[in-house]
Amino acid sequence: WMGVPVLGLDALSSAAYGPEAAMTVLLVAGTAGQALITPIMLGVIALLLVLYASYRQTIRAYPQGGGSYTVARTNLGVNAGLLAAAALVLDYVMNVAVGISAGVGALVSALPVLLPLRPELCLLLLLVIAVVNLRGVRDSGVAFMLPTVLFVLLLLGVIVAGVLQVVLTGGHPVPVVAPQAGAASAAVGLSAWLIVRAFSAGCTAMTGIEAVSNGVGSFRAPAVRNARLALTFIVGLLGVLLAGIAFLARAYGVTATDPASPEYRSVLTTLIAAVTGTGPVYAVSVAAILAVLCLSANTSFAGLPRVAKLLADDDYLPHGFASRGPRLVYTWGVVSLTLLAALLLVVFGGVTDRLVPLFAIGAFLAFTLSQLGMVGHWRRLRQRGLPLVLNAFGAAASGVTLLVVLASKFTEGAWVTLLIVPGLVLAFRATHRHYRHVQAEITTEHPLDFTPRPAPIVIVPVQAWTTVTRKALRFARQLGDVRAVHVLTEQDGHDLQDRWAACVTGPAAASGAPAPTLVLLESPYRQLLEPLLDYVHAVEQDCPDRQVVVLVPELVGPRLTHSLLHNARSAVLKARLSFGGDRRVVVMQVPWSLDDTQGRGRAPR
Amino acid sequence: WMGVPVLGLDALSSAAYGPEAAMTVLLVAGTAGQALITPIMLGVIALLLVLYASYRQTIRAYPQGGGSYTVARTNLGVNAGLLAAAALVLDYVMNVAVGISAGVGALVSALPVLLPLRPELCLLLLLVIAVVNLRGVRDSGVAFMLPTVLFVLLLLGVIVAGVLQVVLTGGHPVPVVAPQAGAASAAVGLSAWLIVRAFSAGCTAMTGIEAVSNGVGSFRAPAVRNARLALTFIVGLLGVLLAGIAFLARAYGVTATDPASPEYRSVLTTLIAAVTGTGPVYAVSVAAILAVLCLSANTSFAGLPRVAKLLADDDYLPHGFASRGPRLVYTWGVVSLTLLAALLLVVFGGVTDRLVPLFAIGAFLAFTLSQLGMVGHWRRLRQRGLPLVLNAFGAAASGVTLLVVLASKFTEGAWVTLLIVPGLVLAFRATHRHYRHVQAEITTEHPLDFTPRPAPIVIVPVQAWTTVTRKALRFARQLGDVRAVHVLTEQDGHDLQDRWAACVTGPAAASGAPAPTLVLLESPYRQLLEPLLDYVHAVEQDCPDRQVVVLVPELVGPRLTHSLLHNARSAVLKARLSFGGDRRVVVMQVPWSLDDTQGRGRAPR
Ligand SMILES: [K+]
Ligand SMILES: [K+]
Ligand SMILES: [K+]
Ligand SMILES: [K+]
Ligand SMILES: [K+]
Ligand SMILES: [K+]
């Protein structure tokens, strides 16, 4: 049962913005328009049931978890897989943007003084979520469970209380806190077109129901049966929430408000205030809504990097997406998702309503390809029974919905998806082509060359006699002929030259080993890098047959600030040596740590 | 004379926002308030002349260029120098933010459809300027000269034409394009306080006049005389522009407009439209204003990195600020400036008026410390004549102005400077302490250790037999005992194992050299990194007395995209090995280039 809150989160949270998205479209048609919310939500629930039947089949067919990319790629081929991947990328990014903007929408509805700060609050929340994910989150079920359970129980409580009120007052409940008067005059009449557009917006209420089918593997045995039960439960709950919200909004006269105006109040918070007043229940509800929407946005931070890793494994995205960083986080995936979501939040000013078209298209394109993939799956297995029919029906329903959303929201931003989705697919293919091309180029038949070569020349920049210098020089002696290079600036006190005799030339003579050469370079203007680079290039010219190694110390350790304070010069040195494609000079970064200088590192090693 | 446009740019461009800043403050006092712009601008011009006299002395005393930091640090000690540096950082950042926001203000005044996009346009311009600077700009005098000359000539022309009109019409010129009616009713009465606040805002018109004294070194001999001539010329021009704008604004009834409202129109563009209409002169003027303000913002991209380099040389900022990247750009300085300016533009919504208080304080704090430093300079030299008096007067005047600005704008954002400036000084000192501390820690008396050590173990990850692998293995053989590590994933075709016999073991036996060991590691889930890391750590455990080197290929070359596509894995490998402070494993990145695979690299090397 732990799976229900974690995997249901994404779907259930959609109740916080789906109905509102439809009601906002109906706003222009005044009171008559708002009356339509109930039939439109019933339509959405009907489509939800079709998708439910479809995803039950996916769960059975892919007990290890069947994401859109896997299902489409396996059953429909590479191109469909890439299209599904592009749709998923869009879906995941929009899920973050919509979740955060709707959460902030609930917050500013409760605290209207914060309304002018909406874009800033969105970016702040995004930053918090991104940082949490970059530091690595262990799936802590409880943190996810509590807000979800609270959200569902509170909403169910409000719905039950509201319905009771409606019944007791004979259909005319008195709101505890009256909703803002709005949408009184009809700017435009009702039309079939308006209804279609409202339905399209309302379809965002279904986003996230695919989560259970992605995570079948995390259920206890019998996993398929348990996953199907969980899906039934989640879809049932979501249906009740959607129907309840639509019914009560009508009964209490709650309407949408202009999402971009300073009078904006979210439908759900207004509804809760109308039923329960703005007391503690209201405060806890707003907090639960905000928390659930943030956690729902957070699910993308697990989902998108996982899809990106699959694509990178197949050379369709840079390999950086396939590697986990020190905290076992797919850093590239998390950072890309954050940047893309931030871009969307900035461009659309953190207003949920403007983000909805892109979200619906991303989600329904992924739904459609996933269901089509299932149709392909059953055909491949030559099973022509009910599952095939259900998935075909699901594919048709979500495909038609996709076209409806695309057409009805085209001028409101949906046209952008016609650039983004094919653009992503082309980028995947271009990346793949590049990797293939390079692979072909570097493939060789030549055997390893065992002819002897002279020892490398090892250049060690030395500004003072320190434990770090000692360690670097000792290692350098193992690699080849050492040249210690010291850049003399105007401030130089010639301390190093004195030490060199005592600490290097003296001991070398005593031990009979050759002493490393000390090279002194003059530098005006306190530039340390330029004289060193000139020297390296001169050595390279003089000794064309020898490998040149530049050995620079690099501070390692857990503190990023220390690394920034101490490693910039060696990083720049490396960048400047590689710039222009110099392939002869190898830069070797010898790690040292601040502990080296305290504990054991103190003793000579 | 080339120096005038380049060094005068920063000062002259201030005419585009200084008068407007004062007029915006007067807005609340209605028509009576707008009448005060002339006396206030005369006060600003008087202060400008005091600073002019002061900076003439600086030019003479510091013919190599005397920035606030240098002058304050040399004459008043380290703490004053750090305070001046903090003031300069604030000044430079604000100069970028104000220049860009005022430029965009002029643009959206001419094209009001763009008004809702003001923050986005600001960020876009900032990005363009930052990218240009990151790619490295050679000081191209002409690109700077043309817009500045155009700006000055057009403004002078408009002023002459306007004054003629005023004279010809007996003081009642008819605007060609009537300014928006505004500021008709006085919300609050006139008060001394309001006048002080307007004067404070108007002081931004003086920002940038220190540029000539920073750049004395760039003048032809006699440099001091030429620099002083240039300063006289620039200050004279700026005075004429300020006086002319103030006079004509009164005569034509041009008032400021609410800077945050959709009716915002900049004073200067409104004035030009009133005098010349919105014909070609107007269009060229707006373009020139935008260009000059962007170029003026651009001057900070040379100035801030230069100050940061001085601070980093003295260990007050991370050494990264002292190193120039591949394009000879102080990358850290440019990037920091961009991020700080972007932050300010986002927080203040790209509205110039909100940025003005911070700008005035940064500039006048720098002025004051610079003049105080000059007072110290003359006292040190025991010269007690006119220069001392002039600088003392300049210091007093700018110090009083600073206090006036701080007090009068305190609640409008100036309080932030009381956090930023001391915060920066503390950060400088903390950085310095850290470097001193580490320097003391790593200083050693121990001589270099010449006792022999066993050869290092060199681990080379190998996924396929390529030219890159060959090069890496050949180099690895020179360094120590080679272990080639191959991670077997489910997709592995065992191609490498076949090749290994033909390309390594065979030739090794033929040449009598020892063959590198091939280590095979199993990996589920296509993770390449984890098995490799486990192996490295195991080797480290097994051979505690030997240095472990991990040799990974790194693509070098001019194309960043190629580097992103090919170097992520080795970067992550390095990060994960250093994470936790492992000091025994050295990661060595062997450069290769895509040319290697085409031209000469094809042949065995
Ligand atoms: K969601
Ligand atoms: K969702
Ligand atoms: K989703
Ligand atoms: K300026
Ligand atoms: K300026
Ligand atoms: K400046």
At residue A554's C-alpha, the angle toward residues A549 and A559, to 5°, is 160
Report residue A136's pLDDT band, with 50, 70 and 90 as the boundaries.
confident
Task: Please determine, for the modelled complex, whether the ipTM score is greater than 0.90.
Answer: no
Distances (CA, A) of A553 to A223, A327, A410, A495: 53, 24, 57, 20
- Chain-centroid distance of CA A499 in Å reads 53
Coil vs helix vs strand at B589: strand
Return the pLDDT at B189.
Answer: 66
* A597 Cβ under 8 Å from any chain B Cβ: yes
Using the predicted structure, report yes or no on whether residue A374 has a pLDDT greater than 70.
yes
Stretch B297-323: mean pLDDT? 89
Return the pLDDT at B3.
Answer: 66
Ligand 2 centroid vs A296 CA: distance in angstroms? 7
Using the predicted structure, report yes or no on whether residue A186 has a pLDDT greater than 60.
no
Return the pLDDT at A600.
Answer: 38
Dist CA A331 CA B576 (whole Å):
12
Q: What proportion of chain A, given as a percentage, has pLDDT over 90?
A: 26
More confident residue, B597 or A157: A157
Percent of chain A as helix, strand, coil, to the nearest 5: 70, 5, 25
pLDDT digits (tens, 9 = 90+) for A403-433: 988 888 888 888 888 999 999 999 999 999 9
Burial class (CB in 10 A: 0-12, 13-18, 19+), A129: buried
Chain B nearest-CA distance from A527, in A, is 8
Residues of A in contact with B334 (CB under 8 A): none
Cross-strand partners of A518: A484
Tell the CATH superfamily of the A3-433 domain. Amino acid/polyamine transporter I (1.20.1740.10)
Close Cβ partners of B178 (under 8 Å, ≥ 6 residues apart) = B274
Cross-strand partners of A591: A554
Query: In sequence order, what DSSP letters do the residues of B446-496 get, joined into one string?
Result: PPPP-S--PPPEEEEE-SS-BHHHHHHHHHHHHHSEEEEEEEE-TT--SHH
Dist CA B60 CA A477 (whole Å):
54
Query: Whole-number mean pLDDT of chain A?
Result: 85
Using the predicted structure, report yes or no on whether residue B81 has a pLDDT greater than 80.
yes
Cβ–Cβ under 8 Å, residues B267 and B256: yes
- Looking at residue B505, what DSSP letter applies? I
In 10 A of CB A191, how many CB atoms? 10
* B605 Cβ under 8 Å from any chain A Cβ: yes
Please give the helix or strand (H or E) that residue A350 lies within, else none.
none
Using the predicted structure, report yes or no on whether residue B598 has a pLDDT greater than 50.
no
Stretch A527-531: mean pLDDT? 84
Question: Which of B41, B25, B89 is CA-nearest to residue B408?
Answer: B25
Using the predicted structure, report yes or no on whether residue A437 has a pLDDT greater than 80.
yes
Cβ–Cβ below 8 Å for B597 and A547: no
Give the CATH number of domain B457-602; options: 3.40.50.620, 3.90.25.10, 3.40.50.300, 1.25.40.10: 3.40.50.620
Cβ–Cβ below 8 Å for A441 and B597: yes
Cβ–Cβ under 8 Å, residues A65 and A215: yes
Question: Which of A301, A309, A379 is CA-nearest to residue A340?
Answer: A301
Using the predicted structure, report yes or no on whether residue B200 has a pLDDT greater than 90.
no
Coil vs helix vs strand at A488: strand
Return the pLDDT at A605.
Answer: 36
Return the pLDDT at A540.
Answer: 87
Report residue B104's pLDDT band, with 50, 70 and 90 as the boundaries.
very high
At residue A142's C-alpha, the angle toward residues A140 and A148, to 5°, is 115
Using the predicted structure, report yes or no on whether residue B206 has a pLDDT greater than 70.
yes
Cβ–Cβ below 8 Å for A568 and B444: no
Return the pLDDT at A287.
Answer: 92
Using the predicted structure, report yes or no on whether residue A239 has a pLDDT greater than 50.
yes
What backbone torsions phi and psi does residue B517 show, to the nearest 5 degrees? -75, 135
Cβ–Cβ below 8 Å for B591 and A568: no
Cβ–Cβ under 8 Å, residues B204 and B409: no
Domain ranges of chain A: 3-433, 457-602
Cβ–Cβ under 8 Å, residues B274 and B249: no
Classify the C-alpha dihedral A30-A31-A32-A38 as positive or negative.
positive
Q: Which two tokens stand for residue A358?
A: 């892109």
Question: Which of B421, B415, B29, B438 is CA-nearest to residue B193?
Answer: B29
Number of A/B CB contacts below 8 angstroms equals: 260
Please give the helix or strand (H or E) that residue A48 lies within, else none.
helix A37-61
Cβ–Cβ below 8 Å for B479 and A475: no
Report residue A171's pLDDT band, with 50, 70 and 90 as the boundaries.
confident
Cβ–Cβ below 8 Å for B578 and A591: yes
Ligand 6 centroid vs B111 CA: distance in angstroms? 29
pLDDT digits (tens, 9 = 90+) for A561-588: 777 788 788 888 877 877 655 667 888 8
Cβ–Cβ below 8 Å for A597 and B438: yes
Nearest to A324 among B323, B511, B529 (CB): B529
Residue that the structure tokens 């408009």 belong to: B158
pLDDT digits (tens, 9 = 90+) for B116-141: 888 888 999 999 989 888 887 665 56
Dist CA A241 CA A155 (whole Å):
7
Close Cβ partners of A50 (under 8 Å, ≥ 6 residues apart) = A393, A394, A397, A398
Using the predicted structure, report yes or no on whether residue A219 has a pLDDT greater than 70.
yes
What 3 state SS string does A531-581 have?
HHHHHHHHHHHHCCCCCEEEEEEEECCCCHHHHHHHCHHHHHHHHHHHCCC
Cβ–Cβ under 8 Å, residues B503 and A446: yes
Return the pLDDT at B439.
Answer: 85
Stretch B240-245: mean pLDDT? 92
Residues of A in contact with B592 (CB under 8 A): 583
Stretch A538-566: mean pLDDT? 82
pLDDT digits (tens, 9 = 90+) for B486-524: 988 776 667 788 888 888 888 888 888 888 889 999 887
Dist CA A528 CA A495 (whole Å):
17
Q: What proportion of chain B, given as a percentage, has pLDDT over 90?
A: 26
Ligand 6 centroid vs B296 CA: distance in angstroms? 9
pLDDT digits (tens, 9 = 90+) for B447-479: 888 888 888 999 999 888 888 888 889 889 888
